[in-house]
Amino acid sequence: MRVIIAEKPSLARAIADALPGSARRQEGLIQCGETTVTWCLGHLLEQAPPEAYDPTDKQWRLDRLPIVPIAWQLTPKPKARGQLSVIRRLLKQASHVVHAGDPDREGQLLVQEVIEYLKYRGPVERLLVSDLNRPAVVRALSQLQSNQAFQPLYRAAEARARADWLYGINLTRAWTLTGRQAGFDGVLSVGRVQTPVLGLIVRRDNAIRDFTPYPFYPLWVDIGVEHGTLRAWWAPNAAQPLDDQGRLIDRAPADALAVRLPGARGTLAKLDQQEKRQNAPLPYSLSALQVDAARRHGLSAQQVLDICQRLYEQHTLITYPRSDCRYLPEGHFSGMQNTLTQACANDDTLRQWCRSADFSRRSKAWNDKQVGAHHALAPTGKPADFTRLSATEGHVFRLIARNVLAQFYPPLRTFEVKAEFSILGEAFRARGQSVLDPGWKPLFTTREEAPPLPPLTLNAPCHVIDTGVETRETRPPEPFTDASLIKAMMNIARYVDDPEVRRTLRDTDGLGTEATRAGIIETLVQRGYLVRQQKALRATRLGTALIAALPRAVSTPERTALWEQRLGAIADNRDDAQAFQQALVEDLNALLRQSDAGKLKQSLQSAQGEEGAPAKRSVRKRKSGANAKSGARRKSNGRAKSGRKTPN
């Protein structure tokens, strides 16, 4: 008997529907002739607690840290024992097994750890399903591979699970016990991803709190040229009192120049005119979709993930959603016209966009070299019944369909002009843009980035019609939102100080994974470290205090992002899981030596005294870890308050 083990019931049903013959459903399985399909319910197993290795470690004690198992153990989750018994019985009868976990690192771990825990020793094949529609599943069933080819992926997933356990258990116990010494009666959860994410928010909140605004003074001129007028902005030279962004911070030079400018004549000294082509945005990965859905529809990252799971499992309208890829297989190109035509048939806007698409156009999105275990999110071709979708499900489906449709539209073609005028020996700059062909742009927005300039000729004369000096004020950085935090986690290298590490991280997947980023944010909220204030994510007093007390290395992204890089190397068979764990244990020993009750007490007291900080939330006790220069120049990272943009 062949036994297929799916990651979840929805996948099991899709596989059973794609098998020949009639299906007979029983408790925990579906019988299809000589094949039995069963399923996991997410993870059926979890890492055993510390006391499973040594009963002494049931009590939390600093002198027992670090806890490092010699022979790792898994234990069934309490609610999973029934389904685990079903799989155990089937494996005893199986002639061979098909592993049908999701096509990613975690999916490989989830099913294979069950197979190994139940000590099955027969042949195992691998089924990769990224689209629950019947034709796609039938195709996948005809392309089974040996599970042996996926062992590096399994080792990477196993190394990740064990490393998370080591990091979370040991650091959570250490700082919780230190917290008790400091007078805090609660669990201080530390995790290898959640804590750096919290650190990002705390440092942003601190920058906002500590920001001191100051004024700056852009000077504009309305210039007459041969074929019209335009507005340009003074570009003061380095001899003027400027901040680090080239903004004038003393009004006197601007006022003095403004008095001399009316009626003054000059010439167009520099002219840069060029046509630019911009291809459509690629289809979505999950994180890219979460960013756009948050901005356009105000959805949290977790809401987008949950919606995508329903669109994938319940409605079967989209392909596998937890993807980090923004490219599509080349083999899908020929059938995409039919897929999109059917998928978009019940929405007026999508249907019109589909009619206007040129399905002979092949964008760079079709690239097998960029597709790994997953491809970008795309419609499956099943017609979307919007009467059965919630409003938010409809919004998310339309975004996914739109980005794939955009691949069949021509590039956006613009004519961009940058001009620099020389008047009274000073430089004044203007820029404009005219749209030659909107291409894909109307699917996204009709807003122009910059108005067009009148026709210009290099060295042509000009004269000043009017001028003025504005008073603006720098603004602090914006607090993080779901959209900006997900984007920060995707592009974590921007938040790394070390230039060597930053270069290393530029091409990695960032902080967390597509499947975990939304959950990390929600975990921080649930544990009382973050609160949502309208769309903003702000650190609570407790979250702020924890980051202040932890070693900086724990709350910055370098370590965990490098973890992901090394786990990727293990998955590619370029690194060793045991060496990775040994390096982590050495790291843990160094971090544990830095726990300081006095520092933590001071941090908690300081955070409690902050005016305007969100109130501390109670934390449930847990027994396991959580997965300006002086003088003329001044420096500031502040932004300009509202007003016309000043070109740099």
Q: How far is the CA of 430 from the CAs of 183, 224, 421, 455, in angstroms?
A: 60, 13, 8, 13
Which residue type, as a one-letter code, is found at position 213?
P
How deeply is 113 buried, as exposed, middle or buried, from its count of CB atoms within 10 A (0-12, 13-18, 19+)? buried
Which residue type, as a one-letter code, is found at position 575?
D
| Angle formed at CA 101 by CA 308 and CA 196, multiple of 5 degrees | 60
Q: Which residues contact 146 (CB under 8 A, 6 or more apart)?
A: 124, 125, 126
* Token pair recorded at residue 68: 């490092």
CA distance 41 to 402: 33
Strands (E), 27-76: 29-32, 35-39, 45-47, 74-76
Q: Is it true that the peptide bond before 76 is cis, omega within 30 degrees of 0?
A: no
CA distance 218 to 480: 28
| Angle formed at CA 443 by CA 438 and CA 447, multiple of 5 degrees | 60
Dihedral of alpha carbons 634, 635, 640, 645, sign:
positive
Annotated catalytic residues are 320
Tell me the three-class secondary structure of 331-384, residue by residue.
Answer: HHCCCHHHHHHHHCCCCHHHHHHHHHCCCCCCCCCECHHHCCCCCCCCECCCCC
- H or E segment and range at residue 231: strand 228-234
Which residue type, as a one-letter code, is found at position 555?
S
> Which residue is listed with tokens 């771990």?
109
CA distance 567 to 580: 8
Structural contact between residues 602 and 609, judged by C-beta atoms closer than 8 angstroms? no
